[in-house]
Structure 1
Amino acid sequence: MIDATVPEVGLDKETRDMILETLKKYAERKLTPEFLLELDHNDTFPHDVLKELYDPMSIGLHLLFIPEKYDGLGGGAYDIYRVSEIMASVDLGIATGVLATFLGSDPISVGATEEQKQHWFGRIAEEALLCAYGATEPQAGSDLGAMTTKAEPVEENGEVVGYNITGRKQWISNGGVADIYTILALAPGGPSWFIVDADAEGFTKGKPEDKHGIRASNTAALFLDNVYVPVDRLVGLEEGKGLAQAQAVFGYTRLMVGAFGLGAGWEALRRAIRYSQERIQGGAPLSQKQGYTHKLIVPNAAKLEAARTYIEWVAERLDSGEEGLQTEGAVAKYMATEAGNKMAEDAIQAMGGYGYTKEYMVEKIKRDVRITTIYEGTSEIMEWTIARDRWQEHLKSRGDYYKEWANRLAAIHQEYPDNGANFAAMAMRALAVILERCRLDRLTRNQHVLFRLGELVAYAECAAVFAERVVQKPTEAIQLDVPTRQALARIFAREAALKVAADGLRWTIGAGQTDPNLAASLDLPGIYQAQTGNVADMDFAAEQLNKVFTA
């Protein structure tokens, strides 16, 4: 087996493994199911847990995202993904509370001056400050450009010395418990980030939201009434950079939320597998029945691992210093959170009446993971972002963007015929045909068609990246061996090809496409024929998953 490779930027493997093992041991000792269910039932934010996780003398988890030059550990995107998955597999509410500090400090990371970074990262590291990210507003939702919070300059002797901020923020993680807040407000020069202390005059916090899930996290509205901040609290000391800074953040934050969906989804899957090994029906355990494994387990494992591979691909690119990965971050978040949400739903079904009770935890996981398809940009916003950006790539390349990717996959198939790259290439070619037909018939005037294109792009790209990396760069994050993940890659790539072709045909016809031979152009017969061997692959994957996750 080829060793997994990760970027040199960030932690070395030994340090990362030590942090992950420390987290696991802490969770086994302190974050028992009974304790977590009590937090959930009482809607309690666990201050003591956060204090222990942030204690520099024990775990110092907040140091992970602070650069070494500011007394942190200098973790990269890959490290954040690994920790996020582990935390979410334990409790997504606590994960949200811990890692909201990462969100809150990110505008400082991407936009602050060197002096500001020295000051604020130094304080966060030394004082273990909780942070919050104040962007979302009641009427604007994920549309940051529609915000109404204002920052009015305060002048003395003709010089700006500070700002009075007035407005409201909604759905803010750590909103009622943070020590410092980064607040996005509209200054005369445009949207800008400001750093606000929790005890600033005129700054009040709403009561904790009574939420469907992640009840161990604190979510609250923020109210700012002429809250004065000195000019040195303007991130970067220049107005109008806020939206660009927020966009720069999205590659990281959406990756993190994707990892939340991944961690919660895999935990639900593990619980469903272990239950199936003990539950006897018709003289045999459910784990040996295709009606159970091939509907509720294997397809979800394939989606989750496709999403994982895409997350790791994006994380490595971020850690190499590559910029402009907002689209890839959107794909990662969309696929991983939708996959995690679906797995949690199926885990309840897999456990029947037990799954519907709180004792078996999957009911709680389902309520918790649901938020991942909403916060940091809803799934619908992700679909729109993906479709908009890849539509531009299709136009700029004159239709060759996905054709060229399909050709690369065909070459990979020659070297690694078991990866499913040939099926992923089918998905790419079908996607290129659908996009071109949408161009010729101007079908993207229909918003629904545009959104569905975003979904199809996400499936096709995840299938491609999974097939490209499953042998060359196997993950270090899960116990599955390469042949098992190859089977999952083939299963997912077949599904992606069929989804792109069948759903693409459905919606283009529904929107009025004019090509009578479109089905043939999509190679639907070939894609259906490519399903040969799928049940055998699912049999193998089910068997291997049962071996790895023995009760």
Structure 2
Amino acid sequence: MTETVSTAGPHAATSGLDLSTLSLMLEALDDFIAASLTPELQLELDHEDRCPEDIVRAMSDPDTLGVQLVFIPEEFGGMGGSAWDSYRVCEAMARKDIGLATAVFATFLGSDPIVFGGTPEQQEHWLTRIAGEGLVFAYGATEPEAGSDLGAMTTTAERITADDGTVTAYRITGRKQWISNGSIADFSTVLAATEDGPSWFVVPQDSAGFSSGPPEDKHGLRLSNTSALYLDDVEVPADHLIGEVEGKGLVQAQNVFGYTRLMVAAFGLGGGWEALDRSLAYSVERVQGGSPLSEKQGFTHKLIVPWAVRLEAARSFIEHTATRLDAGAGAEGALNTEGAIAKYMSTEAGIAAADAAIQAHGGYGYTRPYVVEKIRRDVRITTIYEGTSEIMEMTIARDRWQRHLKSGGRHYSDMADRLEAMHAAQPSAGADIAALACRALAVVLEACRTGRLTRNQHVLFRLGELIAWTETAAVFVTKAAAAAEQSLHEKCLSRFDADALAVMSRVFAREAAQKVALEGTRWVAGASEPGSAQLTTIGDVPTARIMAAQAGLVTDLDTVRDILYAPFGSGSPLSATG
């Protein structure tokens, strides 16, 4: 799974905070939110659809908490956190409240064009103020009609020139939609079309002609302020053009997707695990038919175990991507696809885990006091903002399709070879099963090539899904093997030991391999005409070996269950039948 990396870019080759400093920040964050946002207040704010601006600003106050310092380079007064640090902080915030997490993330996102595209003078001015004054930012990219298609925006920035032709200012006109912190930010970074192309501008919230709409009435994320921004001939000085060169806006936006999507992935992970942990605790106490739900295999193996496995599989890909970003591989958008896989797998798993948590709580799960219904509403947005799941599928499929073509169809076969070599050294992690998923995927992709099946957009998107599952399986078994060799990253959570990671990675690898074998061949056949050559090709998918690899699955599910419930005092395997 190794890749050649660059050492360029704002997040290049950084180890970030030392482990003790990160631990202190996470502890301080936990203490602050526990004191500031009681469960009663949280439910009240959610019910009233009200953003606690005082808490948002206190979180950004360097004299109170200063959580934004993690995201700001040291030379500008921040802590210079790494991608690993940012992921851990974002997960911790999401476990408390994804709305509050979004408010903090919006300032980070709003400052990103400055970090990645600002002149040294602009970086010094704005980033130092965010660090030292706790300024709240918004990120104004999305528009009502354009949605996620930044190239289709209609907001414009017209040059204002002096008599000698020098550009002195810009006049911005347009509308932005779904803007986090839109009504409460001190400044917004706004993407607008100039004569030379899309460009970012820093716009003070008190500028003449700049206003925000009422807060959106949202399905979830109700502790986050979200509103439209209206720009009616808003004038900003020329030095508010980020980078002071027009036309760099889309490049600057693309350069950060690998990083920002990793943070949203952490939101999905945090929300999913919070819901799942509430279900674990509830099932130990809730007695049905004379015994706790936790002792019923029909309950645990449907509503608990699968989601713990998927969340930890997704975590492994977040950590894999964070490691590469911190090694300097994020230059020029090099990890957009990895960020997309991390976001796709984590947010989809987060939603599924939260949905299962409602079911696990029965009727209580459908009520506000048990919180899981709120988590389910909140985590839903993670598959939409910073790129929908469908955009993630497209991003993944297009990039990996090109790798398949350029490698002569060898990309995933070569990955399978590496996994099989890993299995020889660490046979317990399931690397051999992940290798089967890779080999099946290679056959499916080649069948799509010979049949020109990617002309069907739906087929392309389904390939994106299968690729994400396959690569996540490969990364998860790699993490499990590293745990067995005691070579995990020092900032890994210690909740699951090497044996636990091995059994969970085996479970996930089985599911990934089966998914590719069954769904991959289904879509090849479904997009083909009867008698097409590719229908013969998919016979090379190692379906029989993948089915044989399912042997032992239920035993492994039992083991995962016992691991999850061990902290509750279960000293022996739970009943298989309940």
1:545 Cα shift? 0.3
2:64 alignment partner, SS class: coil
Runs of 4+ off more than 6 Å = none
Match of 1:317 in 2: 324
1:503 Cα shift? 0.4
Among 139, 160, 164, the alignment partner of 2:145 is 139
Matched, 1:256 2:263: yes
With 312-321 and 342-351 compared, the bigger mean Cα shift is at 312-321
CA distance in 2 between counterparts of 1:22 and 1:445 reads: 52
Match of 1:227 in 2: 234
2:533 alignment partner, SS class: coil
CA distance in 2 between counterparts of 1:503 and 1:303 reads: 18
CA distance in 2 between counterparts of 1:62 and 1:371 reads: 22
Match of 2:68 in 1: 62
CA distance in 2 between counterparts of 1:549 and 1:126 reads: 44
- Give 1:12's aligned amino acid: D
**Contact 2:503-2:560 within 8 A present in 1 as well:** yes
**Contact 2:397-2:467 within 8 A present in 1 as well:** yes
Matched, 1:121 2:127: yes
1:8 Cα shift? 5.0
Q: How does 1:456-495 map to 2 (within 5 A)?
A: 456-472=466-482, 473=488, 476-495=492-511
Match of 1:300 in 2: 307
Q: 1:321 to 1:549 in 2, by over 3 A?
A: farther
Matched, 1:107 2:131: no
**Contact 2:316-2:475 within 8 A present in 1 as well:** yes
1:549 Cα shift? 5.6
Listed one character per residue, the Cα deviations across residues 360-387 of structure 1 (whole Å, up to 9, x for unaligned) are 0000000000000000000001001110
CA distance in 2 between counterparts of 1:30 and 1:197 reads: 29
1:517 alignment partner, SS class: helix
**Contact 1:306-1:466 within 8 A present in 2 as well:** yes
Match of 1:265 in 2: 272
Percent identity (aligned)? 58
- Give 2:443's aligned amino acid: V
Match of 1:91 in 2: 97
Listed one character per residue, the Cα deviations across residues 490-527 of structure 1 (whole Å, up to 9, x for unaligned) are 11110000001110011110000533434531111110
1:29 Cα shift? 2.5
Match of 1:548 in 2: 567
Match of 2:37 in 1: 31
CA distance in 2 between counterparts of 1:97 and 1:316 reads: 25
CA distance in 1 between counterparts of 2:390 and 2:284 reads: 37
1:43 Cα shift? 0.9
**Contact 1:480-1:548 within 8 A present in 2 as well:** no
Listed one character per residue, the Cα deviations across residues 225-263 of structure 1 (whole Å, up to 9, x for unaligned) are 111111111111111111111011111110000000000
CA distance in 2 between counterparts of 1:520 and 1:527 reads: 13
Match of 2:512 in 1: 496
Q: 1:33 to 1:406 in 2, by over 3 A?
A: same
Listed one character per residue, the Cα deviations across residues 285-320 of structure 1 (whole Å, up to 9, x for unaligned) are 111111111111111111100110100110111111
CA distance in 2 between counterparts of 1:56 and 1:43 reads: 27
**Contact 1:303-1:492 within 8 A present in 2 as well:** yes
Match of 1:204 in 2: 211
Among 417, 428, 447, the alignment partner of 2:438 is 428
1:470 alignment partner, SS class: helix
- Give 2:371's aligned amino acid: M
**Contact 2:451-2:534 within 8 A present in 1 as well:** no
- Structure 2: unaligned runs, 5 residues or longer: 1-12, 483-487, 571-578
Q: How does 1:372-521 map to 2 (within 5 A)?
A: 372-472=382-482, 473=488, 476-512=492-528, 514-521=533-540
Q: 1:544 to 1:221 in 2, by over 3 A?
A: same
Among 540, 546, 557, the alignment partner of 1:527 is 546
1:217 alignment partner, SS class: coil
Q: How does 1:176-195 map to 2 (within 5 A)?
A: 176-195=183-202
1:476 Cα shift? 2.2
1:281 Cα shift? 1.7
Q: 1:442 to 1:499 in 2, by over 3 A?
A: same
2:232 alignment partner, SS class: strand
Match of 2:359 in 1: 349
Matched, 1:79 2:85: yes
**Contact 2:448-2:534 within 8 A present in 1 as well:** no
1:272 Cα shift? 0.7
Matched, 1:339 2:345: no
Q: 1:549 to 1:13 in 2, by over 3 A?
A: farther
- Give 2:353's aligned amino acid: M
CA distance in 2 between counterparts of 1:181 and 1:548 reads: 46
**Contact 1:54-1:128 within 8 A present in 2 as well:** yes
**Contact 2:113-2:253 within 8 A present in 1 as well:** yes
Matched, 1:153 2:159: yes
CA distance in 1 between counterparts of 2:189 and 2:348 reads: 28
Match of 2:294 in 1: 287
CA distance in 2 between counterparts of 1:251 and 1:550 reads: 41
- Give 1:15's aligned amino acid: T
1:27 Cα shift? 2.5
**Contact 1:270-1:549 within 8 A present in 2 as well:** no
1:10 Cα shift? 1.1
CA distance in 1 between counterparts of 2:500 and 2:123 reads: 45
Among 34, 39, 46, the alignment partner of 1:40 is 46
1:122 Cα shift? 1.1
Q: How many residues align?
A: 545
Question: How much is the aligned-residue C-alpha RMSD, in angstroms?
Answer: 1.3
Match of 1:4 in 2: none
1:550 Cα shift? 6.2
1:171 alignment partner, SS class: strand
CA distance in 1 between counterparts of 2:41 and 2:423 reads: 49
CA distance in 1 between counterparts of 2:359 and 2:289 reads: 18
- Structure 1: unaligned runs, 5 residues or longer: 1-6
Q: 1:443 to 1:319 in 2, by over 3 A?
A: same
**Contact 1:277-1:550 within 8 A present in 2 as well:** no
**Contact 2:62-2:133 within 8 A present in 1 as well:** no
1:355 alignment partner, SS class: helix
Match of 1:3 in 2: none
1:191 alignment partner, SS class: strand
